[in-house]
Amino acid sequence: MNPFEVTPRSVDSAFKNWSRIYSKPYNKHEVSPYTKTRVILMNGTEFESVWFGHQTQRNCPNNDIRRDLALIRRVEQQQQKVIASLKPMDETILEHTISYEQLAVDLTAELAKREPDKNVKAALDFALLEDFDHLYRYSDLLEAMVGVKSEELVGHYAEIMPGRPTISEHRYPFDNVRFFINCKSAAPITKLNVAIITAAEQQTMNYYMNVAALFENDLGRQLYQEIGLIEEQHVTQYGSLLDTKTTFLEHLLMHEYTECYLYYSCYEDETDLYIKGIWEEHFHQEVAHLHMAADMLKKYEKKDWQEVIPNGNFPQLLTLHENKAYVRDILANTVQITSKKEEYVDVASLSNDDDFFKFQNAVNQPVEEVPTHIVIQSYIDSKGEDYRYQDSDHPVPALRDRVKDNVSVGREANANG
Ligand SMILES: [Fe+2]
Ligand SMILES: [Fe+2]
Ligand SMILES: [Fe+2]
Ligand SMILES: [Fe+2]
């Protein structure tokens, strides 16, 4: 599929009345967990498009371009409304959060498996273990509060057990910035992977920024605060991978191409017929945006779209599915890794006066007050052991203990046992 070869509809033909903008929500008990994660992924993709359009307007003196951006942005906003209303009213903030972290795990793993650039793959594998741990912490809160088992919500496609413990994920901010890719030499799939994961993690960060204060108890509000600050680190990491040497209109073209690619992938992957129809309709709306962005690039920068996207054919499409073996392998081999500026290093290699330990001491003292630790320890205190869903023994021996929450792995030398 090459969206540059698809005949575009007019951009204006996308406008809908109020009944068509308000979708029929899915049934949370019947729909595939991956339909829920696709809804979150595309909601985040649209959010990124909308905010990219606003930022571009604020940096652009030409009102003809600003009007074109306003037109595209109005449609992106409408798409976001259509997608966001798919979430049913009876799906709680915390249940929805489980799908956010399931998406983070399975999307990150899938992108890492297909990523040819070593640095980008390392970034994905690194954050994978952190979101995997978030899934476990939120799952224990959910089980403790209302008795809902996350293994049902994730359809048994993901294991629920500790990852790199969240307490160890807090790094000095300098250590979250990576080298950016070069769009001229990067593989097409690398450019897509970086754009997709940045928008998805940003969506998670924004969601936690908004829902923390809406949550119904102190522990939950604190949990969203703490994990929200890790999502800030993830968005810093992934956003730093984006090529900084592209113009706004080149970026616009790449945004529209990424949207075409994702809607087409979702369309091919989708099992819910009603939602499949939405992905198809949005794909055609994005084709219209893509052609408009190519025209703008030609008109204002005298560049052909092939200078940004040399081959318009989609690389392999994105599919969402279970990645249990992959996650176990990364856990077994890299749970003790932290990051030092652009590198990933074993925590044992850091000197005692490293920024990592200073920052850990500033935010995690006393350890008994760290929310992601409290949520597990209080569960253990009331029920005897934590809530988990595992297919077999945890791949990290130190994380097998179910009656004591481990606060050493990832933050002390050789703590993986
Ligand atoms: Fe869009
Ligand atoms: Fe996360
Ligand atoms: Fe994340
Ligand atoms: Fe678009």
177-199: average pLDDT: 97
Give the ligand at the shortest distance from the Cα of 136. Answer: 2
Neighbours of ion ligand 4 (CB under 5 A): 256, 259, 286, 289
Dihedral in degrees, nearest 10, Cα atoms 46, 124, 34, 268: 70
Q: What is the pLDDT of residues 128-173, one digit of tens each?
A: 999 999 999 999 999 999 999 999 999 999 999 999 999 999 999 9
Residue 202: what pLDDT? 98
Distance CA 129, CA 212 (A): 22
Give the ligand at the shortest distance from the Cα of 227. Answer: 2
Of the pLDDT bands very low, low, confident and very high (cuts 50, 70, 90), residue 417 is confident
Taking the centre of ligand 1 as the mean of its atom positions, its distance from the CA of residue 199, in whole angstroms, is 12
Taking the centre of ligand 4 as the mean of its atom positions, its distance from the CA of residue 264, in whole angstroms, is 13
Q: In the chain, what percentage of residues exceed pLDDT 90?
A: 100
Taking the centre of ligand 3 as the mean of its atom positions, its distance from the CA of residue 139, in whole angstroms, is 16
Alpha helix stretches (DSSP H) within 90-187: 93-114, 118-146, 150-153
Dihedral over Cα of 166, 341, 247, 191: its sign: negative
C-alpha distance from residue 192 to each of 69, 114, 235, 251, 325 (Å): 22, 11, 16, 12, 24
> Which tokens hold the place of 382?
């009331």
Taking the centre of ligand 4 as the mean of its atom positions, its distance from the CA of residue 131, in whole angstroms, is 28
Taking the centre of ligand 2 as the mean of its atom positions, its distance from the CA of residue 130, in whole angstroms, is 6
Nearest one of 111, 153, 112 to 135, comparing CA atoms: 153
Give the ligand at the shortest distance from the Cα of 80. Answer: 1
Nearest one of 385, 387, 417 to 402, comparing CA atoms: 385
Taking the centre of ligand 4 as the mean of its atom positions, its distance from the CA of residue 52, in whole angstroms, is 11
C-alpha distance from residue 363 to each of 11, 27, 253 (Å): 49, 41, 41
Taking the centre of ligand 4 as the mean of its atom positions, its distance from the CA of residue 256, in whole angstroms, is 5
Distance CA 105, CA 93 (A): 19
Dihedral over Cα of 384, 157, 80, 230: its sign: positive
Q: Which CATH superfamily is domain 3-325 in?
A: Ferritin, core subunit, four-helix bundle (1.20.1260.10)
Residue 370: what pLDDT? 98
304-327: average pLDDT: 97
State the average pLDDT for the chain: 98
DSSP 173-238: GGGG--PPP-TTTS-HHHHHHHHHHHHHHHHHHHHHHHHGGGSSSHHHHHHHHHHHHHHHHHHHHH
Neighbours of ion ligand 2 (CB under 5 A): 104, 131, 134
Dihedral over Cα of 330, 334, 336, 340: its sign: negative
Domain positions in the chain are 3-325
Taking the centre of ligand 2 as the mean of its atom positions, its distance from the CA of residue 282, in whole angstroms, is 27
* 346 pLDDT above the threshold of 90: yes
Taking the centre of ligand 1 as the mean of its atom positions, its distance from the CA of residue 415, in whole angstroms, is 45
